[in-house]
Amino acid sequence: MAVHVYFEDVEVGTEMPAWSRTTGLMNWNRYAAVNDEFVPFHMDDEAGRRAKNEQGAFGMGNLRYAYLVNALRDWIGDEAEIREVGCQYRAINQKGDVLTVTGKVTEKKTVDGEHLVYLETNVVNQNGEPTCPGHAIVVLENRPGDAS
């Protein structure tokens, strides 16, 4: 369940709650079905090995992007706006990996009446290895009754 986060609730250094998923063929198949992304090396171990991944089939980069967006939404609630999300795919997501979205506030400011919060994000695997460094900008409301 999403919690409503207000601009006053965050400071530089605030960490968003860790958000984790264990991934594998079932998750990849669902994602592929929705996004028409049935690429052989994401579905078939032999195709994955032919693509130079010794362990076989491997996860989609865009699924980690979706995890970033879901983690942000769960953190800030439905009333806030996710303005921007960007990331780089730096490591392969293997079957059975536990992927955890992390994020830390790096800046907050008000511009033209909008309360912007900037975050450094990443998706790390169960070994703590970063796989998907990125950033996000969210727009948060003031706490009701706060005039700032």
User: Is the pLDDT at 1 greater than 50, yes or no?
Assistant: no
Residue 1 in any domain: the answer is no
Could you give the C-alpha distances from 20 to 40, 50, 59, in angstroms and in order? 26, 29, 15
Could you tell me if residue 100 is inside a domain? yes
Residue 146 maps to a domain: no
Phi (first) and psi of residue 85, to 5 degrees? -140, 130
For the domain that residue 50 is a member of, what is the CATH number? 3.10.129.10
| Residue 70 belongs to some domain of the structure | yes
Per-residue pLDDT tens over the stretch 83-116: 999 999 999 999 999 999 999 999 999 999 999 9
Name the amino acid, one letter, at 84. Answer: E
Contact in structure between 100 and 122 (CB atoms under 8 Å): no
Report the residue count for the chain: 148
> What is the extent of the structural domain holding 97?
7-140
What letter does residue 96 receive in the DSSP assignment? Answer: T
73, 92 in Cβ contact below 8 A?
Answer: no
Is residue 2 one of the residues assigned to a domain? no
C-beta of residue 78 within 8 angstroms of C-beta of residue 2 = yes
* Element containing residue 119 per DSSP (H, E): strand 114-124
The pLDDT value given to residue 50: 96
The answer to the question of residue 14 being in a domain is: yes
Q: Is residue 148 part of a domain?
A: no
Residue 133 resides in a domain = yes
**How many structural domains compose the chain?**
1
pLDDT digits (tens, 9 = 90+) for 27-48: 888 888 888 888 899 989 999 9
